[in-house]
């Protein structure tokens, strides 16, 4: 599963505000820090204000602040509010499902269970946890970036295709 850019920047806005609790943060500052357009950030900020997570003040000396303590903002809740679609496979949407295997397939249940586990894991973490604002906080383990981005090789059975016919891209796929 991959989070949308919208959710990614929503989390970044909240994290940036959490890391600067002593002052108001500006849209211009966020835009420069994350190389994102001010217009895109305005949409995110407006949504976060409507959800009661950010306080916004207009005008000179204005800006953004967290409306709640970082320890009271659950990452699972933020992701649920900002993601628009958790339909991982076609059959999650009965109105658009054209899969002929649906009646006999258990994949939908497996993916649904995995999605619930994913969200349950996010529910264990707060904004304070991911910004290191609480000593000894969270069950967030430190995962080295290399473990996330390392190439993954796909082993194809020899009987399927000779190695010479396997495109180079199929031999090593990068995880996102």
Q: What was the pLDDT predicted at 125?
A: 95
Specify burial of residue 64 (Cβ count, 10 A radius: 0-12, 13-18, 19+). buried
Q: Determine the average pLDDT of the residues in 36-47.
A: 93
pLDDT of 148 strictly over 60: no
Give me the pLDDT at residue 174, please: 43
pLDDT score recorded for residue 124: 96
pTM, two decimals, is: 0.70
Mean pLDDT of 13-20: 94
Whole-angstrom distance, CA of residue 45 vs CA of residue 55: 9
CA of 52: how far to CAs of 74, 75, 96, in Å?
A: 13, 14, 34
Cβ neighbours for 87, distance < 8 A, ≥ 6 positions apart: 93
Give me the mean pLDDT over the 5-20 stretch. Answer: 94
- Percent of the chain at pLDDT > 70 equals 72
For 76-92, what is each residue's pLDDT tens digit?
A: 999 999 988 777 666 67
* Closest by CA position to 127, among listed 65, 42, 84: 65
The number of residues in the chain equals 176
Domains of the chain plus CATH, in order, are: 5-130 (1.10.10.10), 145-174 (no CATH)
Average pLDDT over residues 140-162: 47
Least confident of 17-26, 42-51, 83-92, 120-129: 83-92
The mean per-residue pLDDT over the stretch 101-106 comes to: 76
CA distance 115 to 109: 10
Scan for tokens 């820090």, then name that residue: 33
Q: What pLDDT is recorded for position 133?
A: 58
Is the Cβ–Cβ distance between 18 and 133 less than 8 Å?
yes
Q: What is the pLDDT of residue 132?
A: 80
Report CA 65 to chain centroid distance, whole Å: 21
CA pair distance 148, 126, nearest whole angstrom: 22
């Amino acid at each position: 599963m991959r989070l949308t850019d919208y959710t990614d920047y929503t989390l970044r806005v909240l994290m940036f505000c959490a890391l600067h609790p002593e002052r108001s943060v500006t849209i211009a500052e966020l835009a420069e820090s994350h190389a994102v357009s001010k217009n895109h950030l305005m949409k995110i900020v407006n949504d976060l204000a409507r959800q009661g997570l950010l306080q916004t003040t207009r005008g000179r000396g204005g800006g953004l602040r967290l409306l709640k303590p970082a320890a009271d903002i659950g990452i699972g809740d933020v992701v649920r509010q900002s993601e628009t679609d958790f339909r991982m496979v076609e059959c999650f949407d009965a109105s658009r499902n054209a899969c002929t295997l649906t009646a006999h397939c258990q994949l939908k249940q497996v993916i649904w269970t995995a999605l619930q586990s994913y969200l349950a894991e996010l529910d264990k973490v707060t904004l304070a946890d991911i910004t290191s604002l609480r000593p000894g906080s969270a069950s967030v383990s430190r995962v080295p970036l290399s473990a996330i981005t390392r190439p993954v090789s796909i082993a194809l059975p020899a009987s399927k295709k000779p190695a010479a016919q396997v495109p180079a891209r199929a031999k090593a796929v990068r995880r996102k």
